[in-house]
Structure 1
């Protein structure tokens, strides 16, 4: 039986993590920047998870590339670039796709799959012959703990839009030990991920590991206020956010505001966080890269403006992240209490 052929466009932390697991059941192509690809050519890829599983894939078991043309003849392209690079990356791969190709977005934000579909429209004007663009969701953080070692540091199950053409990919993923579920309506899933992602900025502004930051009630109170603004808009939109914990999303802000012992006790079973875990936005600030704040608190602010209302806490967080981006290495590291006062909650 022919192995499923999967290309990862934007092989960074998430992309290398997915590719490393999938390589046991699929023919995997990693497309990324030269420094990462060069390192993998020498050492292969090592991936690990919270269950203690670890796998090293030697370089000869992977196809490694820095050019988008490497997606040619693959069955699935997993888009794992930063959200700001979605349109550019899609235009790069479009000439090498077939009409029956499937592009799955495993990116942050509410709009990635629609952005991919629109960008593909330039190369495939007829929707009937256009490659299929589907939404996916990765709920966990991945940290680069070695030059070519990527570790899952937060618990959670991946999801992807349910469609008959995605079934071979799901089978290959399950065969590789990746937990991926199909979902008929991804709107609620993506909104639920947005609620989770609102902590990225809080974590980045503090500069603390996630496990430390989440023990700070003031930090959690800021996150709760951001989530309440997003939940208000979800209700206006008629979207029911999917839960990422056993607690319904509408009740999570209450849990976040609970005293530290109560939060720790109630979240212990459902939220597993490795000591080294940090948000991807924290990594971006540390590396001097632009952040994805526009697809997180910025998305809440944009939705509020569209619907004739405001999201003042999220707007203030956007401002603080922009200031941190501009300051670079000299950016301020906020305590929870300072951050809470700065956003007015």
Structure 2
């Protein structure tokens, strides 16, 4: 549900082992009906699914009868999407949030409550996590551009989805503590705003030490919040989360050498937030640096750099095509570092 870059990428691989329905915008559905769907992983393995290998739909009613509904909308669209699909879910349906942010599963469950007042009859909602970046490399071609393994909350009812993912060529791990996983992903996602503000490809931006210093400061504020909340962020790279700011601040040759095995980035990779700004769409900043600011305020943890990044992204949203493309040095000065 909400088949964009992530939804099409997941659906394209799952189609080899499951009956997949993509619910997306009419323009996307029309294109896939003409050309099929092509997906490529980070190793360069490619699969094309012909149009008849998928069910394509623009209406939420297409989720009727689904065993699993993978929600891949932007977080801003969560409430609307859940209202749309609620009339067509069964009590034994499983809804998995493959979205950015810390709060999606709880928001989905709350939104379902009006349609299913009894918790016992309510569809099961599970947190999921997509660690990698996906870019649209053609009209109906989606390519994974960074490394990582999918995660989903460990639950007996998720086992068939895990088997389907593995059968389709996706690496999907079950995790008992998704709160730690989502916080670990948040630390990585804090770079989305920095990448979007610079307008640079990820590989170029990460070679800019000033950009990395800004990211390190955002991560340190998030890590301070995690300590206050008694959360140990999951280790999503070979490096422990607490050591990431130190690596980011290291000289570029040192960073490049130490991160080579931990962070594989395609030359074409860029954050989805950069795409949102280019397209004039509202971004997910409230679920990234904005979430750090929100929870930090509730728990008395200072987060001035994250707050300033939120301001700059809001300014960029308002400026549209005339927005400033920040250099790393300019951005570092703008946040007071």
Please give the TM-score of this superposition, normalised by the length of structure 2. Answer: 0.99
SS in structure 2 of the partner of residue 150 of structure 1:
strand
For the Cα contact (< 8 Å) 2:239–2:262, is it kept in 1?
no
The question of 1:247 aligning with 2:239 is answered: yes
Name the counterpart of 2:214: 222
Is residue 154 of structure 1 aligned with residue 141 of structure 2?
no
Deviations 1:97-148 (A, max 9, x none): 0010000000000000111111110000000010000000000000000000
- Count of aligned pairs: 337
TM-score using structure 1 length? 0.97
RMSD: 0.5
Residue pair 2:224, 2:301 contacting (<8 A) in 1 also? no
Kindly report structure 1 stretches of 4+ aligned residues shifted beyond 4 Å.
none
- Cα offset, 1:309, TM superposition: 3.1
Alignment-derived partner of residue 250 in structure 2: 258
Select which of 263, 268, 273 maps to 1:281.
Answer: 273
Q: Distance in 1 between matches of 2:117 and 2:264?
A: 45
Which ranges in structure 1 are unaligned for 5 or more consecutive residues?
Answer: 1-8
CA contact (8 A) 2:37 2:49 kept: yes
Are 2:34 and 1:42 equivalent residues in the alignment? yes
Q: 2-side partners of 1:328 and 1:344: how far apart?
A: 24
Gaps of 5+ in 2: none
In 1, distance between residues paired with 2:238 and 2:24?
36
Tell me the residue number matched to 1:66: 58
More displaced 10-residue stretch of structure 1: 207-216 or 301-310: 301-310
Distance 1:13 1:52 in 2: 17
- Partners in 1 of 2:281 and 2:33 — Cα distance? 25
- The structural deviation recorded for 1:50 is 1.0
Structure-2 separation of matches of 1:261 and 1:61: 46
Structure 1 residues 128-167: aligned runs within 5 Å: 128-167=120-159
Please state how far the C-alpha of 1:308 moved relative to its aligned partner: 2.3
Match of 1:173 in 2: 165
| In structure 1, C-alpha distance between the alignment counterparts of 2:256 and 2:237, rounded to whole Å | 14
- 1:180-191 pair list within 5 angstroms: 180-191=172-183
